[in-house]
């Protein structure tokens, strides 16, 4: 069964593993902990009995497209999109040809104003990930049409460990924390070693109250990168 191959703990450390090798090395201890074994059992059952997102091939896409030592910027989301064809394993990102969800629309509106560039046609953010932007959801899977359905099952422990490892082992990463849920992750980040930018969430509820638009995070992020001798992100 494909799911057994994808979630077998033994295969986590092979070339066929769904998790990119550098991340497998960094998070090796997590795979042996009881919570991860319970999470594996839960997710296998959910995908077997229900429609879930993203496709199993893309559950670890955020890690696959942005190896540990390539991370320059981190954007934190909460859940994958739970509608058909939307989620591709990167937070806020959707597959080619999929209408932009409201939060992504507001991200692009801020990007458009901040950097004076055309509104993007595609909502696929893989090009960001390929430049070192880790687009990480706190929970990596979800049941169709049921937002938050896989929260509290162990994913948050796993992704918190990934954030903590970045904070411990790397320096100079820019963390973009949008909204209250993302801001809670500040406790995992050593602000003496890294840059942390915060704002409201890009969802309409927050953005329309004035907590999102005008944060200029895209230009500020690029200025920090330039000041430290790094290439800007082509947002």
d(CA 167, CA 180): 20
Token code pair at residue 96: 């080619």
d(CA 17, CA 8): 9
d(CA 80, CA 180): 17
d(CA 210, CA 86): 27
Q: Which position among 79, 114, 116, 130 bears the catalytic label?
A: 79
Is the sign of the CA dihedral 67, 54, 161, 135 positive or negative?
A: positive
Q: What is the 3-state secondary structure (H, E, C) of 146-200?
A: ECCCCCCCCHHHHHHHHHHHHHHHCCCCEEEEECHHHHHHHHHCCCCCCEEEEEC
Contacts of residue 35, defined as CB under 8 A and 6 or more positions apart, other chains included, come to 154, 157, 158
190 counts as catalytic: no
Q: What is the DSSP string of 107-150?
A: HHHHHHHHHT-PPPS----HHHHTTTEEEEESS--EETTBTTTT
> What amino acid positions are annotated as catalytic residues?
79
């Amino acid at each position: 069964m494909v799911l057994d191959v994808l979630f077998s703990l033994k295969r986590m450390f092979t070339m066929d593993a769904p998790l990119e090798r550098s991340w497998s090395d960094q998070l090796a201890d997590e795979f042996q902990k009881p919570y991860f074994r319970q999470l594996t059992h839960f997710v296998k059952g959910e995908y077997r009995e229900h429609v879930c997102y993203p496709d199993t091939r893309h559950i670890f896409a955020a890690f696959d497209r942005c190896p540990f030592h390539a991370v320059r910027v981190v954007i934190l989301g909460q859940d994958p999109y739970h509608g058909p064809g939307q989620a591709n394993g990167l937070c806020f990102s959707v597959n080619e040809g999929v209408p932009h969800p409201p939060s992504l629309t507001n991200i692009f509106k801020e990007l458009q104003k901040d950097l004076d560039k055309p509104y993007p046609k595609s909502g696929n953010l893989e090009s960001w990930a390929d430049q070192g932007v880790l687009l990480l959801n706190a929970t990596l899977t979800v049941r169709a049409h049921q937002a938050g359905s896989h929260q509290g099952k162990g994913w948050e422990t796993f992704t918190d460990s990934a954030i903590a490892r970045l904070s411990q082992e790397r320096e100079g990463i820019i963390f973009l924390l949008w909204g209250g849920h993302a801001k809670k992750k500040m406790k995992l980040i050593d602000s003496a070693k890294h840059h942390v930018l915060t704002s409201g969430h890009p969802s309409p509820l927050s953005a329309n109250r004035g907590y999102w638009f005008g944060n200029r995070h895209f230009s500020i992020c690029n200025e920090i990168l330039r000041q430290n001798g790094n290439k800007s992100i082509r947002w």
